[in-house]
Structure 1
Amino acid sequence: MNSIHSCTPSPQSGIPAVILVGTHVDKIPEKYRQKVINTYFMKIRHLLKDKPTIVHLMCDIAIDNTLHDPKLKELKRNIFNLASQQPHWGEEKPARWLPLEQAIMTLKASGTKVVRVSLLDEINRSASVRIQDKDEMDLFLRYQHEIGSILYFNAEGLRDSIVLDPQFIIDALKSLITAEMFIRAIPVITSKWFEFKEDGKLAHQLIDAIWTKEKNPDFHDNKNHLLLLMEKLNLIARPKSYSEDRKEVKEEDYFLAPCMLRQATPTEIISPESDPDIGNTSVLCFVCTAKFLPTPVFHRLLGACLTYWPIAKQGSQNLIYCGCCVFDIDDVHQMTLHFRDYVIFTRVTGVGVINMHQSSEVCGKVKTFIFENLSRIIGNLGQSLQFELHIQCPRADPKSLEGLIAVSKLQRSEKVRCHSHAKSHILESKELLKFWFEDKEPSDAGSSSGAMATPPRSDTDRFMCIAYLLVDVGSRVLRQLLSHHTVTSTCTLDQYLAKHRNTINSLRRVFNQSQMDIMFPPNGDDTNLDDYDITLLSALFNNIVPTLSQQEKDMIKCLREERNKLYGHAKSCQINSSDFQTYCNDISSTLTTLSQQCGDTVFEAKILQEIHCTQVSAIPADPT
């Protein structure tokens, strides 16, 4: 049994499509064949009937694994139909990219796994039609990365080389995970293997031994680049720890692979006993709205946390387990992060901190870190997952999914009823929210304490939050995106517009006079990007920015349509709570993805923070 699936959502269904493929049909007696096939596929659907994953199944097909099976044509046709619905299918790209694209395909066919970017520069320079400059070369490589053709990151230590076959890095990790067969022949590293298998601790000595023994020499030859890529993708992480005097944090000389963790989490880690010297916050929950969260998402989040905070210890024992880890945030605060089904739970604990309300700044930083990294990880995986914030009832079993109360509900009401137990009871909203969403007076809303402003409680507040997301944040993202696609070290925005002046002049039905005056000020001043609104930006992207992908164009179109719908068709300046959540999810997903295409990680982090503040709180008092 195999599945063929797309990694990006189909425009028709809005979700990644899956084709189920049953093989070796020829092994079934012909008399019973069709009945067995029907029963088999229906059994799978029955197993998934109550799970959200069932909506991904587009079709199923059974083949007999021979080249003469007529069902193969049907399989090819289904794959083609699904592939042609993908966002990148049929989109235009510069013709001068084709020679280098063909060169990459030739290198792949020859079995080359990793190449230096300098080699591609040489190939490009020798082509009759070539990519113009370094910035366009970076854009070309990022485009190839986004469509899954290569692995390329414009980051320190990674920008000089590219992996031609993304499967290569998976094979490299797989060779480590499945290396047990080699270990008996190398007794000196047996203990290192058991550390890796049982605790996820990956030593350089073990990596060298396995990749040297592997038949594929490309692994060891490209060891440093592969390990940096695995770190970048949060497949492995170099953990941090405190020095013996706890005065400094140091990096360990080994890696941790979250996917290898097998030890079950002790009950007392997730369900701590009451202690007068230890304070605990309420449990903040990141709940996947699709009720399905791929385990690798949590593993990669754990990897991000491992590179940021030291693992807490109990004696000499690291408090890291399968699906759970405890981190030292500072000298007195710890954070427990664990995962179950489609929910990620986090709690902050203070040793000697009785009043955890005073730790709201620490909680705010933890919440923001998790939110930003979840958004980044999901974006890198090409997923369209959305999360809602909940807080778990203090009486609920922390190892269960019971007692999850939406933050939006808590922010609307002073008291809420929990129905998750044999006897329902009333909870004070303020007591649950105070650790993670501290209320401040308006004068304090923009302070440096990291506290959130007063959460939106009225339909009018919600309308203003959506308007802020669409107009303020949306326009800022599109301006940054335009600058990224047009401005280089040798070309200003004014020069770019002047170069396309004839094209713009020919599109008088697209650009009105006021827009022309913004682009080409009559007084001869430089154009001011801050004057560009969504309508003008959208028109520019559609007509004079050929490097923009079709997916980006579609997202910009959606932003403009949502803006028009909000202002042109709204019956009042009010949005109810359910519509607010829908708007927030859709617009936030679009803005998050577009901000990731702007080529500026600092800008991306600021946008993520603003989106997060708007979703769970009010409009930031000082968005800059």
Structure 2
Amino acid sequence: MQQDETLQETPENDGVNPDNLFPFAGTSEEFSKLLSTGTYESFENRVFLCGSCACGKSTLASVLIGSPIPLTWKSTDGLVIHFGRNGINLETFEMVPLQGEDRGQNVLTKVVIGKPTRETGTCQSSDNHLDQPIAPSPMGADNLQSNLQPIKKEVSNSSKVSQSSDACLTESRNLPGTNTITFDIKKATSISLPKMKKIEAYAVHDDILKEVKSGQYKIKIAPSDLVDFGGQRSYDMTHQLFVQHGGTFVVMFDGSRDFHEPLKEYPTGDISNESIVKHWVNSILTYCVDDTDVMPMILFAATHSDLLSEDLQKMKKCFVKKVTDMFGTHERKKHFVFDPVFFINGTDKNDQEIQNLKNQLVSIARNQPSWGLRRPMIWVPLELLISNMKKDNVNIIFKSHLAEANKMNGDLALSDKQLDDFLLTQHALGKIMYFNQPELNNFIILYPPALVNILRSFITDELFWPDDESLRKILRDMTDTGKIYKKDLLKLWQQERFHAYIPDDDFKEFVIQVLIHLDVLVLPKLYSGTSNAHVIYYLVPCTVKDKMPMSFLDDKSFANRTLSLVYRLQKASIPSALSFKLIGAVSSIWPIKELNGRPLLYHSSAVLCVDEKTEFRMIVEDSKVVVYLTHMSSKSSISPDIAASIQECLTSTLEVVLKFYLSIIGKSQKKENVSNLFQIEVGEVCGRSSCVVSISKAKLNSDWVCNSGIKHSSRYPLLWCFNKTQEECPSHCPGLANTILTTSPTEQQLSRFANQLTNNSCRELMLHLGLQRQDWEDIEDCYTGKSLIIRIMVLHLWKTKRIKGKPTKSFRNLLDALTAVGDQRHLLCKVFREETDLLDIADVRLQEVPHDDVLNGLPKHLGNCAIQLGIELGVTMSSINETMVRHHKDMYKQISDILVKWKSSRQIKPTIYRLMLALERVDIGGLDYLKNIYLGQ
């Protein structure tokens, strides 16, 4: 047989640019070493269909894969991935459906298409790290098929391989990499290999490469993957996990409807074609970085042209104008194709507009940077092995088993480092899911749609909820509260159609950890060594439907009690998935506030509790994150340490989140580059919205005038940027504001003030406050040798005693007294400072009430601190005095009684974390005792 010229080795094919790498393919030197063993051209392509409900995405998908066109609408549950059911003819450059023998495309087919080169080279063995020669096999072409048969080999360790269930139901997976996954609920034959001691390894030798070079196989169609996204907003989080940087997105909308008309498929009544199109564009482009890569590309397609009798060309021009007006000035407009906007009739497979769309998709595919990119031939054995595992319905596998199978390839085996690079590249291409993170990198999801199916168990539209009322109640409670108990999640997974994907407990725990990693499930940060078995519930922000009521802005006092902070993304809007991840990360430090037992968790927003007097709201909207930090009495009472800690936490979290999403699409970013993706603005509340300016402007100007003509001071907004490391006030500090000076100090503030005084300075201050020397002496007699307690009790006496001519007891009185004894006004500033070191160990477990046995053991780890501890815990002074009188000779009983009173208080939940904060402030022991019990530190 005459050799096909397209497979001839040519000089240009011999020279491969090592810088033209796939994501995660290692360094240029490492990749060059891989390429030296032989290469082939890769023609990876993926098309995504997205848009509103009922706009015809699945109908178009049916046309592209050559399936019967559905004439009635059936909503897509989540997303459907069609593997290899569509392709591009490399001779005619036509997009065609793959059927019959054409659907037999597999890894070997891609090698054949890819103009392979094969050289005698070296490859580092994973066993001895020595360079081993790789030479072409003398075996002939006739032996090719026999060498593709599975070779069963023993593996020393015990194995567990996931069994599949109903994943493949309209089309079988007997042809690796080419099936359509539609997830209809039918019974399917599946393998069951629990605790097996064997793994099937498919050894591939050099005779295959010789057969490839012979040109015997003349298949000319490059398979393409097609992703059909469901239109419901319930799937925002799921969709974002499968949005990839490399691909073409067809954003679709119903062209027979007005662009601004509310769509009846969305019950909220505020979603139109325009908002859906904008939502999808934002979701696609948020994580793109400024580089030379033109991918992804976005096309627009209107549907239902058959329902209109108007001039279709005129309508197309109208659509072009609409999308150009929306995105024509977008900073990433190089990713858009504005003209034409295709106006298709999905029910007609011969529709010329669909043909025009296919031609455009082929043109984009041929011009994408990855088209024709050289890939190492040495990757082929593992690609074949994974494809055959998928064929056998193996969805999840231990990485150690794949590593064992890799070693069976002998001189074609990859080193451990090369295996990791291979897996990360396959992950970036969407072929597998592999997370190189502790506790996650022991497993590989070979078949990504398996995770889609698992997600459907609880992230789904109500339309697809199960009939079982107990299961419906679980899902109803989750969407109402944003919370799901672990036992309920496992109960959902017991349904046959989900259990089959993760029948093994090890796989269940792995999937949970993956969902936590992706912030689908949110668990406040845990510590190394903490068992997932102790987790009671997870937050699931992406399932909450209700929006935060904005009635709090109608409270006239809200503006005077609130600071505002805004993060404004510079390049794109924020997709829902990012807001879910951001809310999840912040709730790991500050608990979500509860009202009548319901967490105040809303769609893309939440109310979080800082302390009994301070809370903050975080709302993600369009291209910004808005934060309202509110104190019960006044914004001037907000602790600068708390404000700065919240800002620092949000800033670092946003950087981590953006870096995370950039990494999963194959882009790596330095921290300083990530921080350039957003701008921080600070300010106050003006009317019913945030009034903010850049931090630099706030620092340069003592005030600013907003668009409403209102003058705002920069003083309090700059608390967001407070330097927590400074112990003393800066030289420009004006002291407490007038709004604070008129208020009466709390017992906690007086205690903290007393801690800064000496006995002599306190005695002198007391006289200026109107007390008598006898008052001091009486308290000194009661608390002999306890200097701090004497000062605390003297200040308490001042606050409660009726003093002639001085009816008020305010910070103004304290300031006047301090001024009289020497200008120490900044001592008062310090009473508003807070310790924030414990934020680093905040944990969901610390939001629970401490056990009585723990409280009974705590006094033995403390000194004589009952009064200070009681004050910091919020126990009233009268109650503290009663304790001191009742147990005046027993220090341990004093502390125990204070703890009992605190725990029985109903005003605010007595959590472990609040007890830790009090112990940190009192600083007389006990904190390490609690850390050891609850955190294992």
Residue among 597, 605, 608 paired with 1:324: 605
2:336 corresponds to which of 43, 57, 63: 57
Question: What residue in structure 2 maps to residue 258 of structure 1?
Answer: 541
The equivalent of 2:434 in structure 1 is 152
Q: CA deviation at 1:325?
A: 1.2
- C-alpha change, 1:219 and 1:304, in structure 2 (3 Å) is farther
One-letter code aligned to 2:520: L
Answer whether contact 1:240 1:306 (CA < 8 A) is retained. Answer: no
CA distance in 1, matches of 2:381, 2:374: 15
What's the offset of the Cα at 1:260?
Answer: 1.7
Structure 1: which amino acid aligns with 2:593? A
| Pair 117,177 (structure 1): closer, same or farther in 2 beyond 3 Å | same
Residues 406, 414 of structure 2: 8 Å contact kept: no
Which residue identity does 2:523 align to in structure 1?
A: R
C-alpha contact 1:282 1:392 (8 A) present in aligned 2: yes
The structural deviation recorded for 1:160 is: 1.6
- Choose which of 556, 573, 586 in structure 2 pairs with 1:305: 586
Matched, 1:405 2:687: no
Q: Distance in 1 between matches of 2:384 and 2:640?
A: 60
Confirm or deny that 1:437 pairs with 2:754: no
Which of the numbers 399, 403, 421 marks the counterpart of 1:139?
421
| Aligned partner (choices 509, 516, 519) of residue 234 of structure 1 | 519
Structure with the higher fraction of residues in helix conformation: 1
CA positional deviation for 1:203: 3.4
What is the alpha-carbon distance in structure 2 between the residues aligned to residue 381 and residue 438 of structure 1?
A: 34
Q: How well do the aligned residues superpose, as a CA RMSD in angstroms?
A: 4.3
**Matched position secondary structure for 2:433:** coil
> 1:368 Cα shift?
3.8
1:82 is aligned to 2:364 = yes
Alignment partner, residue 392 of structure 1: 683
Q: Give distance in 2, aligned partners of 1:120 and 1:438.
A: 51
Unpaired stretches in structure 1, ≥5 consecutive residues: 242-249, 441-446, 455-624
| Kept in 2: contact 1:179–1:210 (CA 8 A) | no
- Offset of 1:233 from its aligned partner? 0.7
Q: How many angstroms apart in 1 are the aligned matches of 2:291 and 2:465?
A: 48
How far 1:320 sits from its partner (Å)? 1.7
Contact 1:234 1:303 in 2 (8 A): yes
Asked if 1:286 corresponds to 2:567, the answer is yes
Q: Deviations over 1:242-266 (max 9, x none)?
A: xxxxxxxx97522222122123323
Deviation digits for residues 592-623 of structure 1 (CA, Å, limit 9, x no counterpart): xxxxxxxxxxxxxxxxxxxxxxxxxxxxxxxx
AA partner of residue 265 (structure 1): M
CA shift, 1:132, in A, is: 3.5
Aligned to 2:297: 17
Distance between the aligned counterparts of 1:280 and 1:131, measured in 2? 65
State how far apart, in whole Å, the 2-side matches of 1:190 and 1:64 are: 38
1:427 aligns with 2:712: yes
Measure the CA separation in 1 of the matches of 2:563 and 2:427. 41
Q: Which has the larger radius of gyration?
A: 2
Residues 294 and 335 of structure 2 are in contact (CA less than 8 Å); yes or no, is this contact kept in structure 1? Answer: no
CA–CA distance in 1 between the matches of 2:548 and 2:484? 20
Closer, same or farther in 2 for the Cα pair 1:119/1:406, shift >3 Å? same
Q: Could you tell me whether the CA contact under 8 Å between 2:293 and 2:369 is conserved in 1?
A: no
Residue aligned with 2:439, SS: coil
Change (3 A) 1:220 1:265: same
The match for 1:366 is: 649
Aligned CA distance change for structure 1 residues 234 and 265 (closer, same or farther; 3 Å):
same
Q: Give structure 2 stretches of 5+ with no counterpart.
A: 1-54, 58-248, 252-283, 527-532, 668-673, 733-937
CA distance in 2, matches of 1:205, 1:182: 21
The equivalent residue for 1:538 is none
**Residues 333-368 of structure 1: per-residue CA shift (max 9 Å, x gap):** 543211222210124445688253354553454344
8 Å contact 1:117–1:162 — kept in the other structure?
Answer: yes
For 1:173, the equivalent position in structure 2 comes to 455
Equivalent residues of 2:702, 2:713 under 8 A apart:
yes
Is the CA contact (8 Å cut-off) linking 2:454 and 2:498 kept in structure 1?
no
Tell me how far 1:297 sits from its aligned partner: 1.4
Show the counterpart of 1:477.
none
* Aligned residues of 2:396 and 2:446 also touching (Cα < 8 A): yes
Do structure 1's residue 126 and structure 2's residue 420 form an aligned pair? no
* Distance change (3 Å), C-alpha of 1:307 and 1:103: farther
Amino-acid identity (%): 20
Equivalent AA in structure 2 for residue 432 of structure 1: P
SS in 2 for 1:292: coil
AA at the equivalent of 2:454: A
Contact 1:211–1:219 (8 Å) recurs in 2 = no
- TM-score normalised by length of structure 2: 0.40
Report the Cα offset of residue 20 of structure 1. 2.0
Indicate the larger mover: 351-360 or 163-172: 351-360
| Aligned equivalents of 1:258, 1:93: Cα separation in 2 | 40
1-side partners of 2:345 and 2:391: how far apart?
28
Deviation at 1:287, TM superposition (A): 0.6
Q: 2:536 aligns to what SS in structure 1?
A: coil
CA distance in 2, matches of 1:86, 1:412: 47
Give the aligned length. Answer: 429
Query: Matches of 1:381 and 1:396 in 2, distance apart?
Result: 41
Given the superposition, is the C-alpha separation of residues 78 and 103 from structure 1 closer, same or farther in structure 2, using an over 3 Å criterion? farther
Q: Distance in 2 between matches of 1:371 and 1:31?
A: 48
Distance in 2 (alpha carbons) for counterparts of 1:251 and 1:265: 31
Question: Hey, what's the Cα distance between the residues in 2 that align with 1:428 and 1:53?
Answer: 36
* Cα separation, 1, equivalents of 2:553 and 2:399: 47
Q: Structure 1 residues 86 and 218 mapped into 2: Cα distance closer, same or farther (>3 Å)?
A: farther
Correspondence for 2:818: none
Map 1:456-605 onto structure 2 (within 5 A): none
Distance, in Å, in 2 between the alignment partners of 1:257 and 1:39 is 41
CA distance in 1, matches of 2:441, 2:576: 29
- The SS at the match of 1:144 is helix
1:225 maps to which of 510, 524, 527: 510
Q: What SS class does the counterpart of residue 177 from structure 1 fall into?
A: coil
Deviation for aligned residue 1:33:
4.8
- Report deviation, 1:380: 4.5
After TM superposition, give the deviation of residue 90 of structure 1 in Å. Answer: 5.1
Residue 388 of structure 1, CA deviation: 0.7
Residues 118 and 292 from structure 1, CA distance in 2 versus in 1: closer, same or farther, beyond 3 angstroms?
same
Residues of 2 paired with 1:36 and 1:181: CA distance? 33
Report Cα offsets for 1:431-480 as digits up to 9, x if no partner. 321x121269xxxxxx588x99x9xxxxxxxxxxxxxxxxxxxxxxxxxx
Contact persistence 2:582–2:654 (CA under 8 A): no
The corresponding residue for 2:704 is: 416
CA separation in 1, counterparts of 2:525 and 2:591? 4
Bigger shift: residues 200-209 or 68-77? 68-77
**SS of structure 2 residue aligned to 1:176:** coil
